[in-house]
Amino acid sequence: MKKENGGTSKNSKPTLQFGGDDASRLVGGIVEKGFSDNPQGGRPIAPPRPSVLPFPVARHRSHGPVCHWAPKIGGSSVVNDKDYAGNDNREEEDFDGMEVAASIANPVQRKERKGVDFSQWKEIVKNNGTIKEPVRETKEINSHSLSRRVADPDEHVIEKRQRPQNHSPKSEGSNVVEKPPTWRDGSSKDGQVDLKMKSMQKSKVASGFAAQKLVGGEEVGIESQIDAENRAQLSKMSADEIAEAQAEIMNKLNPELINLLKKRGQTKVKRQKFSLSDVVTGSEADSLQSEKNRSKLTENTTSEKPLKIVTTDTLQDKGDKASSNTSEENCSMWDAWSKRVESVRDMRFSVEGKIIRTDFARVSDDGKPSSESGYSADNVSERDFLRTEGDPGASGYTIKEAVALSRSVIPGQRTIALHLIAAVLDKAICSISQNQVDSEGPVDWEAIWAFALGPEPELALSLRMSLDDNHNSVVLACVKVIQCVLSCTMNKIVFDILEKTPTYVGGACTSPVFRTKPDVNVGFIRGGFWKYNVKPSNILHFHEEESEGDKDEGEHTIKDDVVLAGQDFAAGLVRMGILPRICFLLETDPSAPLEECLISILIAIARHSPTCAAAIIDSGKIVQTVANRFASKEQMEINICKIKSVTLLKVLAQYEKKNCLSFINSGILHKVTWHLYRYPNSLDQWVKSGTEACKLSSALLVEQLRLYKVFIRYGYCISDFSNMFTSLCMWLSVPTIEKLMENDVMNEYCAITNEVYLILEVLACRLPNFYSDVREKTEDVAEGKETWSWSQFGSIIDLALEWVQVKNIAPLTRLFNCQNSVGEIRSLQDSEINSLLWVISSVLNMLSSVLKAVIPEDFTSLPNGRLSWLPEFVPKVGLEIIKNGYFRFSGNGSIVDYLCRLRIENGRELAISSTCCIQGLIRVVDSVDKLIQHANLEIHQKPSKFESAPEEDKILANGILKSCAVEVQHSVTNLMKQIMNKWQSTKPVEIFSRGGPAPGVGVGWGASDGGYWSLNSLLTQQEARLLVDLLERSETPPTAQTLNCALTACLTVGPGNSSVIDKLLNFMFRVPVLKYLNLGIEKFLSVKQGFSPFKWDYEEEEYLLFANVLATHFRNRWLTVKKKQKSTGEKINHKSKKKDARFLETIDENMDESNQESLSSLKLEWAYQRLPLPTHWFLSAISTVNFVKIDSTGETYMEMPENFLEVSKAGLFFLLGIEAIPASPTSEFFSPVECVTVVWKLHAISVVLLSGMGVLEDEKSRDVYETLQNIYGKIIDEKELHKSLQFESEIHKNYPTFIETLVEQFAAESYGDVLFGRQIAVYLHRSVEASVRLAAWNGLSNARALELLPPLDKCFSKAEGYLEPIEDDEKILEAYVKSWVGGALDRAAKRNSMSFSLVLHHLSCFVFGDVVGDMLSLRNKLVKSLLRDYSRKQQHEGMLVKLVCYYNKSDRDCEIERRLQLLKEICDGNLASVEKLESCIKLNHLI
């Protein structure tokens, strides 16, 4: 058909140019808003007739209106007029005034698609994409002497392309059907050329030539024109003429030049890649056939560039490994991870977020199926034309297509795209956290999550644009995507469980972080300080500039926002100005779902970092708007928005103390917590209000209590608590549980009760000491410290004891009694059991805090060390615990046993709650035992008088823990097994450097089972706390399993739990434990073959010194917190830096260290601290050389620790101790010490020598050092040779530089010390990397220290490891010869040093062995150098004789003669030297 020159220009008045008849002949109808059904002049235009269902087409809004056209086949439309039954779905309103322009609007003319033929589509599918095409004619176009033919390679028939007449001028020539000449193999010689031209039609040619317009409106590059002309010329030549011409060219040109041209041609072919986004596919058959044919010709298939997961800063960090927080072997890990993410680009998803398994797969160049579909975000509309039936969403969209679709001009399309993205992200985050597997097969959800949030789709920018949409459905869909990106739902689950634990204070920030690079001053030990992915000042950078009023145009660009969003998604949204937009939306009275999502986003942003929380506070309006909306709604109405509003205020209050004061002064606190002061209804009235009302009221009260608890922790509102205590008393007593279960409100009641007791536990921590005098209380009042009165706790303790008396609670009694009856139906569901356990946990921890306030600070100050009297509730608490069967004092079971079983067999939250129960129980019992033992009781003085006393009284008097020591020890053993079983599955969160597996969200989502933000991690950390309490309070003797478990527990602890590690350090570094380690060393030396016991013993004073210095070192090394330097009264002016603002600021390293944590914040930051610890953390005692200090002026300097030598000696002893003791005779788990590679251990004992010979000069530490060398030598000997010691890859990429420094120290101070020499010699081991061996050899050679190395038989690994396999590295062999010629081996040969033995062996085997290929020239060069050196230096004669005669087999004489003959062949003018050498050998009777 003709292409109408329709459409209007900007300056011409548009008119309708067709009538009804013309409209019926259109290829398709326009689906566009605002066109009138009764246009000017003529009868109404027929409605649009799309042949496919209207489906979202990925277009940018700038592309104009989206039109759906029906394909044209033959001369008629695919859709019959009679069969058309589509409905014209209108938009909601005419926002753009299109109804006014409808009368003068003309349809957008469709550009004709050539080759669209669906008539044989089903047949193509049945034949797997192939179909026999009819013979086609070809049309020759004479333009610039260019003859273009398109032929079918299978039929060898020239094909004619049908073109509309208005697309081409009058053409010369005629249509012919002929069979072209064939090549010798029978194929068409034009077939390849013409088929290639066919595949290039309407494509952008990837070449350096500019494309030119040809006849018919098609673009072909000049290079393709030349190639076509050459092919045309070849087609006119016979085979003999072609062969003759080729021979002529070969004779005229240089063969090297011919090879060069061939390589260049192959490179050009590989570089020609056609963009699929510009290819107009005719039909599914044409596409499949084109791909099949193209794979036979060249490797020019479409491929996109590899995915860049990280941004500009990240790429630089990854390139130079400056910020790499793991070993250099992560290069391969990163490559593997990149491939995983790369594969996500072609995945297609349905609207439900499921992966679409495509029926048709493309065939790649290598003949293998490809996951690429051939469509991109730009040409996705063509794919939509192919769907004529079934579900329009069945074919799905890629992530990039969905993001592009979110910018469509049609609101419905934008909404669908955002729903699809939200579904994909929600499914990904749930699968990652639960480690799920897709029902259709394993799906890499981690890679999907990382790709979606990576820089390539630019999702953050699209979401920020969608948030400004004027359609509510689009905005709602957009905020739901942001919710998924910020992991709002998953973080809510994690933080809710954290809030229930008694040890929770404020939680950790969720902003992404990365480790600082390892430094040589700390021995390259991993585990540096964490840093934010984004410098905090960059988040609000442009706001500061705009406030100055003189911001230059172009300083802040969208590119900056996109780059920052690639590093940190939430920070990027804040930088893009999401907070003012959210505030505006909240002020416009949004719908309940939208308001709920907006507040959830604010909560996630507030949890992100202190900077983002401060941005919400500083915005001014957001907090006040949220509080006003809370108060403006119906007072008694409770909804989700109100609950989340309180949560937002709670999170903001946790960051800074001044925020709490601001909320109090502005009345916000009273607005959102007035429900706590309301006179309560009875429990019956609360239950009768309905299940849904109970759930909402419970959730609101819980959040309000948590908010109030934050204020109490800061010391505010303590005196006001008595005003609300009356309304909270209803929740303190034990209810009728059966009634709550009947009305399904058990969980809601227990949630409120748990929170009330948690807030009482915080108040109990502020109680003054029970035995303190009145003067101290008066001082506290004078200082303005609010304290809680003991008089108010009497009734609270009585109510708490009701929960301790579990035998009086019927459901709990039945639950605990059936603990040994497997399979018996329980009356309580798991969720209800969990709720009750949380209540018991909070009650026990509250009682623990109360009892802790009773214990005197110093018992020695008491008369006779005894308490004159005890409060009545102390023995009462102890007796209730004994009577209610918490511990097993006889043969019956106990509640502790049941809780231990729950912790192992049931879900994660049940395990966490049961662990908290055991922890609170142990603390309560320990406090009761201390008070009873120090009380002035008559039973202690005259025990014989109380022989007839009740059994409970005797147990209380003797000590509860002491009476049930067997059960406690059994619990400790089971707990240690659980910890050691889980720690290896809990992978560290720093798998990669910045960019991580999941850039832009909380820490560790890419790690196994969700990393740190997972229930597995929370359970492991809670178990570590319980282990600390049990080890502190039970008389557990030091064992191998206990020590290994303590080391393991240190690895599981995250930020905010430094006190747990501190207690574990106190446990491990005690004199009894160190003595046990010494016994283990003695046993190891006496049993192990090849070792001899030490001839000395450690003194008591040395144990005390070791314990002190090790505990101090590890605290200072791992538990210090890095704080930013604060400027003194001087505000930094960003404009004075004269820095292009388009570049983001780098992270400042100018920080100092401090052990003092900020008292003005309850929130914990991942940044500026080192937890969790690396696996090899215990090596830091012998790997720390210097500490970097920063003075007041900001200058850095190096400072050697004063007790460095003592720390090194203690570290060597501790390392030998944990190496010597076995993990456990029956243990199935590896010790964390065994999981550290021998590479790290060898490196650590090398670092200790950098500071001098002090360690080796001490007799005891020298023996310990030698024993460690022998242990690691045996490990090296046991390893297979192909498992090399990857120092450079595993430790640091600059490890050769470290070796050079170590060698210099060896040459300067060792004086040939054997142990120091053995340690240097290990770097010449054949299993060490070639670069490290070369650096060690060159350093020794340059320092003339080769002769200081010991003989091979004195090295701590077998000689075979140094000699086999034969050296084949060219640089090392040349270094050997260079040292030989330079004289560096002269003394080494005389002293029988291992260096000369190495050279002798490797050079002899290489020179006189079987050498082939490129190594022949190297051998000849080395031999000539040796002979030339021999002719000049007579003193090297003996060395050369040894080289020639180095042979161990029986036929030695024949071999020496062969070698001499070989030297004569290579000598190149030095025949006299060879003859002289031969005479010397014969003179010495060596042959």
The region, left, alpha or beta by phi > 0 then psi within -120 to 50, assigned to residue 620 is left
Q: Residue 565 burial by CB count (10 A; 0-12/13-18/19+): exposed, middle or buried?
A: buried
Instruction: State how far the Cα of 1114 lies from the Cα of 1116, in Å rounded to an integer.
Output: 5
Higher pLDDT, 1227 or 1084: 1084
Instruction: Provide the token pair at 609.
Output: 């970092």
28 Cβ neighbours under 8 A, 6+ residues apart = 48, 49, 50, 51, 67, 68, 69, 70, 71, 77, 110
699: pLDDT confidence band, cut at 50, 70 and 90? very high
Find the mean pLDDT for residues 204-210.
Answer: 34
Tell me: pLDDT of 1104 over 90. yes
What is the rounded CA–CA span in Å between residue 58 and residue 378? Answer: 7
CA angle 1356, 1357, 1359 (to 5 degrees): 120
Between 783 and 1453, residue with greater pLDDT: 1453
Higher pLDDT, 602 or 1434: 602
Q: How many CA atoms lie within 13 A of 973 on its CB side?
A: 12
Handedness of CA 1435, 1437, 1438, 1440 (dihedral sign): positive
Q: 397-455: per-residue pLDDT in tens? A: 899 999 999 999 999 999 999 999 999 999 988 887 776 544 455 788 888 888 898 88
- C-alpha 1284/C-alpha 1371 separation (Å) is 19
Rounded Cα gap, residues 353 and 443, in angstroms: 12
Report which residue type is found at 772: S
Cα distance between residue 221 and residue 229, in whole Å: 13
By CB neighbour count within 10 A (0-12 exposed, 13-18 middle, 19+ buried), where does 1395 fall?
Answer: buried
Half-sphere exposure of 95 (CA within 13 A, CB side): 9
Single out the residue of 1124, 1114, 1116, 1040 nearest to residue 1077, CA to CA: 1040
- Whether residue 1314 is predicted with pLDDT greater than 50 in this model: the reply is yes
Percent of the chain with pLDDT over 70: 66
**Residue 1191 clears pLDDT 60, i.e. is over it:** no
Q: 103 pLDDT exceeds 50?
A: yes
Task: Tell me the pairing of strands 530-532 and 1121-1124.
Answer: unpaired
Could you report the per-residue pLDDT of 263-290, keeping only the tens digit for each?
Answer: 777 766 655 533 333 333 333 333 333 3
pTM for this prediction: 0.75
Question: Given a cut of 90, is residue 38 above it in pLDDT?
Answer: no
Under 8 Å between Cβ of 175 and 137 = yes
Q: Kindly state the average pLDDT of the residues 353-378.
A: 55
Give how far Cα 968 sits from Cα of 894, 1034, 1048, 1063, Å: 11, 7, 20, 19
CA distance 428 to 449: 6
pLDDT tier at 244, thresholds 50, 70, 90 = confident
Query: Which range has the worst mean pLDDT, 83-87, 628-632, 976-980, 1053-1057?
Result: 83-87
Most confident among 58-72, 191-205, 569-583, 679-693 (mean pLDDT): 569-583
What are the C-alpha distances in Å from 371 to residues 279, 281, 1016? 18, 18, 35
Per-residue pLDDT for 202 more than 90? Answer: no
Of residues 991 and 909, the one with the higher pLDDT is: 909
- In the numeric block, which tokens belong to residue 968? 């406690």
Please report the pLDDT score of residue 1414 as a whole number. 81
- Per-residue confidence (pLDDT) for residue 820, from 0 to 100: 42
pLDDT, tens digit, for every residue of 1382-1404?
999 999 999 999 999 999 999 99
Q: Please give the Cα distance from 1275 to 1284 (Å, whole number).
A: 12
Tell me the pLDDT of the chain averaged across its residues.
74
